[in-house]
Structure 1
Amino acid sequence: MRSETTAGAKPPARTAVHHLDPLLIALKVIARHFERPDSDAILTSGLPLVDGKLTVELLFRAAQRIGLKCSQLDGRLADILPVALPSILFLDGDVPAVVIREVSEDCYAVQLPNVKGIRTVQLKDLEERYSGRAIGVELVYSAPGAVMDEETRARLHTEHWFWSALRRHRKDYVSIVLAASLINLLGLAAPLFIMNVYDRVLPNKAFPTLWVLAAGLVLALVFNFVLTWARARLIDDVARHIDIRLSSTLFEKVLNMSLAVRPTSTGAFVSHISQYEFLREFFTSNTVALFTDLAFIGVFFLVIWQLSGWLVIFPALAVVIVIAAGLMLQFLIGRKLTVAQGQSAMRQGLLVETISSIETVKSLRAEGHLLRRWDDNAHATSGTSEEIKRLSSIGLNVAQLCQQLATIGIVAGGTYAFAAAEMSSGAIIATVILSSRAIAPLSQIAMTLTRARQAWLSFRLLDSIMKLPDERISTRSFVNRKVAKGGYQFSGVRFHYPHSDRNILNDVSFKAGAGEKIGIVGRIGSGKTTVARLMSGLYFATEGEILLDGVDIRQYHPQEVRNAVGFVNQEADLFDGSVKDNILLGDPEADDEALIAAAKMAGVDSFVSQHPMGYDMPTGERGSALSGGQRQAIALARVLIKKPRILILDEPTSSMDIPSERQLILHLKKAILPGQTVFVATHRQGMLELVDRLLVLEGGRLVADGPRDAILDAMKKTKVPNREN
């Protein structure tokens, strides 16, 4: 086991978070114990930290990333420690301490919070401070650099993204079922009350009995009200917790999904994610209570049989007919739901594309064309929806008809039984009420089966999304590497984007030493942006290899690459918020001094200082409130604020005017650090002042590589020198 003092140095901002986050410290100690990656970037990147810290729930998620599994521990500390090691104990309330191993009997090696090094602590001393909360941590897989086999993968992913969320509330669901069962049992009170009034109170004028029965019924109704209210509150509470967990899980998947498997249509992808609403609504509504009501049909039939004997045949036949009709209708409804799902995805895709490109639509006068596509889809969707509603209404009408026919059968049959002195009038009335109560849930069976079918389709769709690979490969044991220098080497690199067979890059090979300043030039579509994306780890080469500091870039954890690389893409995507919010995305822990320094280097301060709101100036959705040059300046500041070891600029001034570009170049010359590796992909010759070497791409191939001035002179003469070896 490595000691605490051998941990690698951390960037200043990350170190601050490390010292202030006791749960992160505890997790890093355990990670080192198991020889797992322990850098802050790997453990916390992408997690919704609360005030920059891990919570217990986030601790579980962070541990799973590095092949560890956490579990809550209950019981006496003396029973926990000999078995569950290492573990995290919460002392003095909520202070986490890591118990690493047993040193001797009742003595343990413990990493105490805010204490350097590992101390030996006796069990009795831990028990005095133990708050009753503990977390056990176990290693799930450990083969360095190897992908897990299926058995180990199953162990790590025993918690399904959806079913695990429901299992967490299994006790609540048991309570909901019990409440629904009691509500159904109390539902027997009213018909039995009426039967006794007709059969015993009225013939004998037994008014004291009437009041006793009435008091009992009132008490039953009060209990029924309380149970119904409690059940509704519990269902809402469970729904809220499940909603928070599932929505966070799905959004985290969207953020961490590998770009190589990203769906081509953003709108359709959004539509697929929105299917979560159907799934959540089905499992967090009164569905559980409804199924309990359906299960109690047998209880009602048993009571009816006790009261009226053979008359139970009528409601039983009604139930069989309603269920059969519901199942037949579901076959038809299910096919329509599949069609409706596809139509909804197409409609959502068209809507998202239109809204995001509304300026282009207006400038091209393409409103009519898009409106026609929308109307065609709307007509198709409306027709499908109408057919689904029509089929569902048939099921409802069948249930109502069967309920009425069962009532007629009971009354008619009961009349003959009454004439033969086999049944009382009160029993007939009670049987009618119980029959209606038994069949009533079936009136919703068509709609319930429809919702169940929709929920199943949504589940399959979302489950397929959740099974898509992440760029953060949890099944791979990354060696704890950091990008130390910033040198690159491309060797025979070929690449094509997903859903396309055409290579964008063909046999590209070059070597860039750490600290070099290199420009990448070429015509539109020559592959400049693709090279930048490959260097930043957004995509991996289809063929060939890319080395970063002499190591295949795939051996680094993606977050370690992103931590070292500052990539400014030419789209300059911004988020709705303020200028300050967007810049701080590069380093949320940066102070105002660092913010202003980065803004000045990128030229943001020049236009922000003239706005009355300053750095609180709103950017609008995707930067719609700003000019193209202003968006690029903010995107550049967002990268400069984190002072990356490698700076990759893709057309950083394509939307800037000449004076703004000149000012930016002057600032960047001062901002670029001596050992910083810089790549600039550009069409603007002015930006080439920042570089000493040029790579020339043509048709996805590297056609020239040499000193900047030599390459530029050759290009002016329309003759590019051969690539230097």
Structure 2
Amino acid sequence: MSAATSSASTPASGDLASAAIASCRTAFLTVGLFSAVLNLLMLTGSIYMLQVYDRVIPSHSIPTLIALSIAVAAAYAMQGLFDLLRQRILTRIGSALHAALWQPVVCNILRGPLRGGANRGLQLSHDLDSVRSFLSGLGPTTLFDLPWMPLYLAGCFLLHPYLGWTLVVGAVLLFGIALLTEVLTRAPTRDASRAGAIRGVQLEAGRRNAEIVAALGMEQRLIDRMGAANEDLVAAQQRNADIAGSLGALSKTLRFMLQSALLGLGAYLVIEGLASGGVMIAASIMGSRALAPVELAISIWRPFLGARQAGQRLRAALGKGDASNPDVAPERAVHRLTVEQVTIAAPGGTTAIVHNASFALEAGQAVGIIGPSAAGKSTLARALVGIWPIARGEIRLDGATLDQWPAEIRGGMIGYLPQDVELFDGTVAENIARFDPEIDEAAVIAAAKAAGAYEMILKLPKGFEMRIGEAGATLSGGQRQRIALARALYKDPFMVVLDEPNASLDAEGDAALTDAIRRVRARGGIAVIIAHRPAALAAVDLVLTLANGHVQAFGPKDEVLRKSLAAHPAPGGAALQAVPDARSVPAAAAS
């Protein structure tokens, strides 16, 4: 079960699901051994009735009856103990698999949007719960009991061949029903799973965008849109239930008929003098026990199919794993950022958004990246912080590519403020500290002051300890942006990438942003600012212009802006005049 306690920050490569199951091999073997003992002990009732009818009643021996009853009670007590232990082991196998795969599953969910292709959202967590629930239920015990059917068949043949063949015919019929159940429910189960996943994604999207849904009167339209997936789900589940229910009722009826047939055939054999009364009762009990696992298998068929499909999805999602953390990482970067002939496409896409971009920044420099909409500015920002892949070229910090550092260490060297600010349900301090379990209070306060958010936070109810709600719902847009800026500046990261950092800021916020960029430069950091509003460029010394994914110019701010303005003049030179001179940056920052 060692996989359950893995503490690696990223999953190791390999078939994680198979490895987790393999780690439970000993426990499964123990369950198999207990099942063998249990199925032998389940012969107790048949043997007891056989002895009572054939030995105790003819001899009228009370001591023999008492001795047999004591032995049977002890056997039943042992049977109950082994059944309890078997179920407990299976429950713990389910919990161990859940613990072993929980971190890889969550990593897969969190990284899914960054990989492109089909995003299953929360489906994988539901799949993991489905597998654990199945392993902790009656399903596995039924599967472990099925191989022992031949034991009861052999017992019936020993009692009389007619009884044995009757049981064989019944078992074949029940197995046929089980196989028919598998064939007929396969497609509805698959359809229900697919429709459930689609409906879940649509519901989550509607919940996440509740404000725009209410404001624009889109509620009924979204409900109608989700209705198709919901109807598909209900219809598939209904087909599945109808098939499984009908065949389950048929198997139960057949089993009752077989038990009565064994009793009737046993009575015939007694009348003909071919068997004793004990044989008639024992055969009925043994036949019932032989057919019970088949009937149970039919009743658990839907959960079994669901767990099997969930396991297949887990294997597909976790099969390749993720690259493990390097054993030896470079020192923290403190000198330079180098972008060399970088081409970037969206995750899972093939069309390049940024083409052959190259530039370099030294410690203490800041660059403003400007350009029209859809020029590739945010794409470049995502690649710089390592969340979008690079098709060609290299991004290096102090000569090392980003993947040479473990994710947590790399994240500590990078501050990132995305265009769409996302905060998490927690306190203001927890959000600024990036949910570090050991919050550095001094670093939180320093980051808040660096972002110009300290006084603002103090005015909030409970200050730094205020819970902000999901996605920062209790805060205004400007408050969220300044807290997210403080998060980006937490513990003085070497490279700070800010995408449209002043989109929701007022004049006071703009001034705080400018001061924050100056502080980054003054302490020897690097700042990359994606900007549409000229005020965001006040503290940068370099400007890079992008158009159609190509770098058009890169160099000193005044020079690049002058050339850009000459190529695309604005009325009255307003754009250029709105950009403060970089010479206001302290000398230490500009060096």
Name the TM-score class by shorter chain.
0.7 to 0.9
- The one of 135, 149, 152 equivalent to 1:300 is 152
Q: Map 1:660-671 onto structure 2 (within 5 A).
A: 660-670=509-519
Q: Does 1:656 align with 2:505?
A: yes
Q: Does 1:380 align with 2:209?
A: no
Aligned residue number for residue 535 of structure 1: 384
Greater mean deviation of Cα atoms: 279-288 or 386-395:
279-288
Contact 1:586 1:639 in 2 (8 A): no
Aligned residue number for residue 371 of structure 1: 223
Q: Does 1:335 align with 2:187?
A: yes
Alpha-carbon distance in 2 for matches of 1:322, 1:275:
30
Aligned residue number for residue 438 of structure 1: 290
Aligned residue number for residue 232 of structure 1: 87
Alpha-carbon distance in 2 for matches of 1:667, 1:451:
56
C-alpha deviation, 1:426, in angstroms? 2.0
C-alpha deviation, 1:615, in angstroms? 1.1
Alpha-carbon distance in 2 for matches of 1:252, 1:582:
20
C-alpha deviation, 1:552, in angstroms? 5.3
Contact 2:520 2:527 in 1 (8 A): no
- Name the CA shift for 1:540/1:222 in 2 (closer, same or farther; >3 Å): closer
Aligned residue number for residue 68 of structure 2: 213
- The one of 178, 194, 202 equivalent to 1:350 is 202
Q: Map 1:310-329 onto structure 2 (within 5 A).
A: 310-329=162-181
Deviations 1:178-220 (A, max 9, x none): 3333232222222322233233333333222222222222222
Per the normalisation by structure 1, the TM-score is 0.73
Aligned residue number for residue 582 of structure 2: none
Aligned residue number for residue 683 of structure 1: 532
Deviations 1:343-377 (A, max 9, x none): 11111110111111111111121111111122222
Contact 2:139 2:304 in 1 (8 A): no
- Name the CA shift for 1:588/1:197 in 2 (closer, same or farther; >3 Å): closer
Aligned residue number for residue 697 of structure 1: 546
Alpha-carbon distance in 1 for matches of 2:430, 2:442:
15
Aligned residue number for residue 573 of structure 2: none
Aligned residue number for residue 577 of structure 1: 426
- Name the CA shift for 1:512/1:586 in 2 (closer, same or farther; >3 Å): farther
- The secondary structure found in structure 2 opposite 1:575 is coil
Aligned residue number for residue 345 of structure 2: 496
Contact 2:56 2:65 in 1 (8 A): yes
Per the normalisation by structure 2, the TM-score is 0.88
Alpha-carbon distance in 1 for matches of 2:498, 2:90:
52
The alignment's C-alpha RMSD in Å is: 2.9
> Across the two proteins, how many residue pairs are aligned to each other?
568
Q: Does 1:617 align with 2:461?
A: no
- The secondary structure found in structure 2 opposite 1:648 is strand
Q: Map 1:104-143 onto structure 2 (within 5 A).
A: none
Structure scoring higher RCO (CA < 8 A, sep ≥ 6) equals: 2
- Name the CA shift for 1:334/1:714 in 2 (closer, same or farther; >3 Å): same
Alpha-carbon distance in 2 for matches of 1:507, 1:397:
67
C-alpha deviation, 1:431, in angstroms? 0.8
C-alpha deviation, 1:637, in angstroms? 1.2
- Name the CA shift for 1:685/1:587 in 2 (closer, same or farther; >3 Å): farther
Deviations 1:679-706 (A, max 9, x none): 1111222221110121122232222333
Higher helix share: 2
Contact 2:112 2:121 in 1 (8 A): no
Aligned residue number for residue 184 of structure 1: 39
C-alpha deviation, 1:56, in angstroms? 11
- Name the CA shift for 1:253/1:260 in 2 (closer, same or farther; >3 Å): closer
Aligned residue number for residue 365 of structure 2: 516
Alpha-carbon distance in 2 for matches of 1:311, 1:588:
68
Contact 1:315 1:403 in 2 (8 A): no
Q: Which amino acid aligns with 1:709?
A: D
Contact 2:116 2:348 in 1 (8 A): no
C-alpha deviation, 1:609, in angstroms? 1.0
Aligned residue number for residue 630 of structure 1: 479
- Name the CA shift for 1:233/1:391 in 2 (closer, same or farther; >3 Å): same
Alpha-carbon distance in 2 for matches of 1:490, 1:163:
40
Q: Which runs of 5+ in 2 are unaligned?
A: 571-591
- The secondary structure found in structure 2 opposite 1:508 is strand
- Name the CA shift for 1:447/1:679 in 2 (closer, same or farther; >3 Å): same
- Name the CA shift for 1:603/1:484 in 2 (closer, same or farther; >3 Å): closer
C-alpha deviation, 1:483, in angstroms? 5.2
Q: Which amino acid aligns with 2:184?
A: L
- The secondary structure found in structure 1 opposite 2:226 is helix
Deviations 1:650-695 (A, max 9, x none): 1112112222222342354345434221111112222211101211
